[in-house]
Structure formats: C-alpha cells, structure tokens
Structure 1
C-alpha cells in the first residue's frame, strides 16, 4: 500500500523538473499553469472523488482510479499544445487521488494503538513517490524527452492498480448515504470537528510553502550561478527523500507523546528551511533547506492524520476529503503565488513568501481553541 501510494502521487510531480524543457517548447506564460493545474486537479479530485470511499467497495474503486490515471497520462503524452497539456495535467491530478483512497484504508485496517506507526509507513511510501518522482522525471525528460516521461508512467500506474486489486481485502463502507448526501455532509463534518479545521488549515499553509519551493526549484537551478538542467533539479528529490525517515518517527512520537508537539516543531522547521534558502545561497544551502522542508511537511502530515482519523470511523473518507482538499488547495495556491513571486522578485521573493506561509502555520498550530 505504501508503494502504491508513492506510484500514484508521483504523477502530480513529474512535471516540476521538466518546466525549463516545457518552457522552451511552449513559452513561460503557458508552462507556469501546468504545475498549478495538476495541484488544482488533485484538490478537486479529493473533493469530488474521495467521498466515494464511503460509498463504494474500496478495492474495486482503487483499481478503477488507477486505470483512469493511466488514460490521463496517455492524454498528457499526446498533448499537441500547451492548453491540452494543462487540461490533461488537471485530469492527471484528479485521478492521482487514488493514493488518498489507500491511506484511510490503511488507517481502517490498523489497530488503534498502532495507527500512527502504520500511517507513518504508508506516508513514507507516499513521500518517496513525491520526491523520487522528480529524480526520475528529471533524468528521463532531459535524456529522452518530456513526453517519454508520461509514456513511462502509464504501465507503472497499470501495474500498481493490478497489484492493489490482487492483494487488498474486500472492504465495504459502513455508511448508507448516497453520493449527494455524502457531499452535503461535508459541511456538517467541517463544523463538527474543530481539530479537523485546525489540522486542515495548518497543513494547507505548510504544504503551500513546500509546493512553492518545489515549483520554483528547477527554474532557480536553471539560472546563474547554478546553470543546471532538469536532471540536477530531479536529483534534489533524492536529497529530499531523507524526509522519508520523518514519517515513521513522527508516527511513533504521535502514538507516545501526542501529535501536537510534532506539529509545532514541524511548523518551526519549515520556517527555518526558508531562512536557510534565503541566507545560504549555495548548493549545500539548498540541500540543507530541502531536507528541512521535507522533514517539516512529512512530520506535520502524519501527525495531522493521526488526529483526524481518530475523529469518526464511519466518515474517514469524507474527513480525508476535507483535510486533503484543504492541503492541496494550499499547494496549488503556493505554486501559483510562487510563480508570481518568482516573476516579481526572483528567488528572494519566493523565500519571503515561503517564510510568511510558515509563520502563519506556526500561529495556526499554536491556537488550540475556536474556529479555524
């Protein structure tokens, strides 16, 4: 399940290291929309597709979504122009939400006293997909081409879907609501659980800062004094994969000490990463900052999931819908704001944006009462 999550979520990040390549073919104006469209598609998929996990048999649903993902990747590989690529990227993002059908199923199958550790393992696989996808994409797009990267992803998605259908247990939801009733209930769930509101907004801010960094990294490395191509930008995924260690560790600490301490530390770590990016403008500085921001994002994510999956067992898919939709709306906003900051003030503007988002996350995490 950890591997399948990684395979699914990787698809929303393949485009980031290849932005400089796409820019040469389609121009900057269109290309900056590609990562934003993918993140927005993921957010919309979370909102409208994820509640299906409380309605349909989960194993079959996961297989169908992986198949739809493969079709969307084919459309991206065949895209004749920038507009088609942006639309295909949106659909790829929406179909990739199959990863978030798997995560609450893992929480459902885990013992309550082991839920944090199990989520840590699954989220470690998801983080590997997020980060190593950039390494793979950077290498393939630079040496073979950006279309070949999307073609390469098609059989990977199909194999992952087949494996999930083969090994997952049959899992029927307990609820009896229809789709429209499920969607209407999202508002009630949001208002019912203050911890869900806090978790959603805090994680959205942290992930916005995370997405701002990864959206602009390839463009930053492409300029002086670095002058690196897509492959080097992708190699930073291996650096960031050190954050995989944070997921199981954060899960175990959340099981023993409670998740709130981890969330506060992670929010502060995100701020430190942006201070490093702004003040230490070397490759080593980028490496240190990358490790810090990936540790921060992953630790906060696992700890927030530890909180929200304990709220109501019969509504985990809908709770995950609210939480992950908020998170990726934050990610899409971070990508969009980062492209604006990059155009206006370069790398310093992006660093100021990331630091501001991190400060807001610290404030939000520290507030324990009231409506988020």
Structure 2
C-alpha cells in the first residue's frame, strides 16, 4: 500500500467526516435562524448523527458486496446534494431533513477505513488504520473551528455551500486515483443485512468494543454540543471566533489515533483501553477545579477537550484493530455495526447534553458526561483477560 494512498484516504476521511461536525459550534446561530427552541436545539446535531447511524446499518455493509470505489463515489454524491440543501434551508424542517441526509452521505468514511485495512498487510494494519483515522480525527477537530471562523465573517449557510463544493472536487480526485476493490462475498443485499444480527450474536469482541466506544462517544458528543453554549454564555462571553479557537485546541487529541494503532500492533490493547477510559473521565473532572469564567477555568476546559479527544480517539482505533483481524469477508459489516452502535450513543449524547444544559447548566451536563466513561470502565473491568 503506497504511502500517498494512505494520506489521500486520510485527507478524504477528514473532509467527509467534517460534515457531521460543522453544526456543533453553530447550534446557537442555526437554531436561532430556524426558530428552534433551546430544548430542541440539539436536533441540529442529532439529526445528522441519526442519518449516520442509518447509513452505517444500510449502506456501509455494501462494502462487502459492491465494488468499493463506485460505492464511495455514489455516497459522496448524496452527501454533496444534502450539503447544498442545508445551505439553502430557511425552515427547521428543511434543515433537519438535509442534516439527516448529510449523515447518510458521511458514512463514506466507514467504507474507506475498511478499504484501507484491505490494502494494508497484516503486520502494519493497525498503523495504516491509525494513520487514516488520524485524518478522520483531524477533520472532526478542524470542522468546529472552521465552521465558527466562516460563520464569524459570513454566515452558517456558507459553511455548507463550501463543503458541498469540496465534496464534488473530492469525488473527482478519488474516482481518478483509487484502485478498484471488488469484494468476494456472493450473498444478496437482504442476506447481507440479515447477517448483521448473526454477527452481533456471535462476536463478543464486537459487542464489547462497541459498548465501550458508545459510552465514550456519548460523552464526547455531549461535551462538544454543550461547551459552545457554555463558552458563549455569561461565564465566558466568547464570540464565535473565540469558540473557534477553543475548538481548534482539540485538534491536539488527534495524535492519539496513530499512537493507538502502534500500541495495538504490539499487543498492548488492554492497558491502553483502560487508560483511554480513565483519561476521558478525568477530562470532565478538570472543568470543575477553577471558578467558572476565569482564565484558569478556560485553560482547564481546553485541557479537558484535548484529553477527552485523546481518550475517545485512542479507544476508537483500538476497537478498529480488534475487529479488523477477525476476517476480511465481513470487515465492512463489523465496522458498520461498531460505528452504528456508538454513533447512536453520540446522537443521544448530543440531545441529552443540550437538554441537560438548558435545565441544569454545565454542572448537570458535565456530571452526565463524567458518568459515561466511568460506566465504560466498570464494564471493561468485567472483561475476561482471555
């Protein structure tokens, strides 16, 4: 596998997955422009995540059945149309439908990651997947500050217009450069979907890794949905540009992906998994050490963002590595189930986070956020070392 293909896939994953996260720092402006209530503002983020979960279950398994490059181009095209739809939205129903389709289109990244695993040799598969996932993580982290910066000088509509254009360019590049990969699975689409239940029932590694990441990603989504509201509130009074700088600091957490890939290749996944959960829980504790609104409090909030991203992204790659060694013939289905489980938790985390912040402020929201990785750690403690 050529290094330039690895970095092309990493770049593609970053650009595509960013579409899911542009709305997180823009919950306030988008909901205000569309007329959504504060309690319903979380739907701006949640609908895209619901669409993403649906795509993981209905589209990603096709990676085991359909020629991968053709599938990638079709799903990117769907995402581009949805992004233009969001850019032109003036009513809540229009935007929420577009957000749902943006989520569907964004599952392209979960076709590309198993595709990279297919191309990589066994000895370096964790490192390759980690490098590709680094691009995905950087895309997640840069999406928030990019959206805030663009909105601060123009409007949130422009964010989606620019991204839709970028998806068209990306589709042309990938169609020209990616090698074809035709799966060997010979079952039909119905049988392919029916096999998902069998995989869940018979693959304990899948159930465990999906559960761990679900709790961590729920905390992650809750954090990044509510902290822009906290930073824009009376304690910090940050503008959209200030929130963008805060989100940019979270990019540092993306270094966890290649590190986790190398750790997994060396067989240290168990210790690294426990560490990821502890780090994620610690992140929420840090936000309560100093008085809210102080410079120290803001610095600790930035540190918490980096630690949380580090823990969540590291655990994600550890899960990838554990699943991708189970068999190439159902790698896409395993990945779809893995991602669907924890993105469903992410959608719940965003909705609960917005509700909790509206009802009890950061104290309630962060309390729920802290509890999630702690529950994951308790569950992890019951895992057999065998």
Cα shift at 1:285: 0.9
Q: State the shift of 1:16 in Å.
A: 1.1
Equivalent of residue 116 in structure 2, options 103, 106, 120:
106
Q: Counterparts of 1:205-224 in structure 2 under 5 Å?
A: 205-224=215-234
Task: Using the TM superposition, name which of 23-32 and 200-209 deviates more.
Answer: 23-32
Q: Tell me, yes or no, if the aligned pair for 1:278 and 1:351 is still in contact at 8 Å.
A: no
Match of 1:19 in 2: 27
Q: Distance in 1 between matches of 2:16 and 2:308?
A: 22
Distance, in Å, in 1 between the alignment partners of 2:36 and 2:298 is 25
2:169 alignment partner, SS class: helix
**Contact 2:34-2:90 at 8 Å conserved across structures:** no
Structure 2: tracts of 5 or more residues without a match? 1-8
Q: Give the one of 49, 54, 60 matched to 1:50.
A: 60
- In structure 2, the partner of 1:5 is 13
Assess if the C-alpha contact under 8 Å between 1:135 and 1:235 holds in 2: yes
Q: CA–CA distance in 1 between the matches of 2:347 and 2:42? A: 12
1:328 aligns with 2:343: yes
Give the CA deviation at 1:254.
1.0
Match of 1:178 among 176, 181, 188: 188
Q: 2:197 aligns with which of 181, 187, 203?
A: 187
Q: Would you say 1:289 and 2:304 are equivalent positions?
A: yes
Measured against aligned partners, the alpha-carbon deviations of 1:24-69 in whole angstroms (never above 9, x if no partner) come to 3234424321101111111111111111111110011111111111
User: Cα offset for 1:313?
Assistant: 1.3
Alignment pair present for 1:306 and 2:314: no
**What residue number does 1:318 align with?**
333
Q: Which runs of 5+ in 1 are unaligned?
A: none
SS of structure 2 residue aligned to 1:17? helix
Q: Which moved more, 1:228-237 or 1:257-266?
A: 228-237
Looking at structure 2, the residues matched to 168 and 246 of structure 1 have their Cα atoms a distance apart, in angstroms, of: 27
Alpha-carbon distance, 1:159 to partner: 1.5
Match of 1:116 in 2: 126
Does the 8 Å CA contact 2:222/2:349 hold for their aligned counterparts?
A: yes
2:167 alignment partner in structure 1: 157
Following the alignment from structure 1 to structure 2, what is the Cα–Cα distance between the partners of residues 157 and 73? 9
| Superimposed CA distance per residue, residues 141-187 of structure 1 (whole angstroms, 9 cap, x where no aligned partner) | 12100111110111111122222212211100110111110000001
**SS in structure 1 at match of 2:24:** coil
- Matches of 2:336 and 2:153, distance apart in 1: 38
User: What is the CA RMSD across the aligned residues, in angstroms?
Assistant: 1.3
- CA distance in 2 between counterparts of 1:278 and 1:68 reads 42
Q: Which secondary structure state, in structure 2, belongs to the residue aligned with residue 265 of structure 1? A: helix
Aligned residues: 370
1:243 CA displacement: 1.2
Aligned counterparts of 1:126 and 1:295: Cα–Cα separation in 2: 13
Report the equivalent of 1:36: 46
User: For the Cα contact (< 8 Å) 1:72–1:88, is it kept in 2?
Assistant: yes
How far does residue 76 in structure 1 lie from its aligned partner after superposition? 0.5
State the distance in 1 between where 2:184 and 2:239 align.
Answer: 50
Cα offset, 1:90, TM superposition? 0.8
> SS of the counterpart of 1:311?
coil
CA distance in 1, matches of 2:267, 2:47: 38
Quote the Cα distance in structure 1 between the aligned partners of 2:41 and 2:370. Answer: 25
Contact 2:145 2:248 in 1 (8 A): yes
348, 367, 373: which one aligns with 1:358: 373
1:231 deviates by: 2.2
* Native 8 Å contact 1:12 1:93 kept in 2: yes
- CA shift for structure 1 position 338: 0.7
Deviation at 1:369, TM superposition (A): 4.4
Matching of residues 215-294 of structure 1 within 5 Å = 215-280=225-290, 281=292, 282-294=297-309
| SS of aligned partner of 2:184 | coil
Distance 1:176 1:165 in 2: 25
Aligned partners of 2:232 and 2:239 also within 8 Å: yes
Q: Determine the C-alpha separation between the residues in 1 that align with 2:239 and 2:97.
A: 26
Structure 1: distance between partners of 2:271 and 2:42? 36
Contact 1:68 1:95 in 2 (8 A): yes
The offset of 1:125, in angstroms, is 0.2
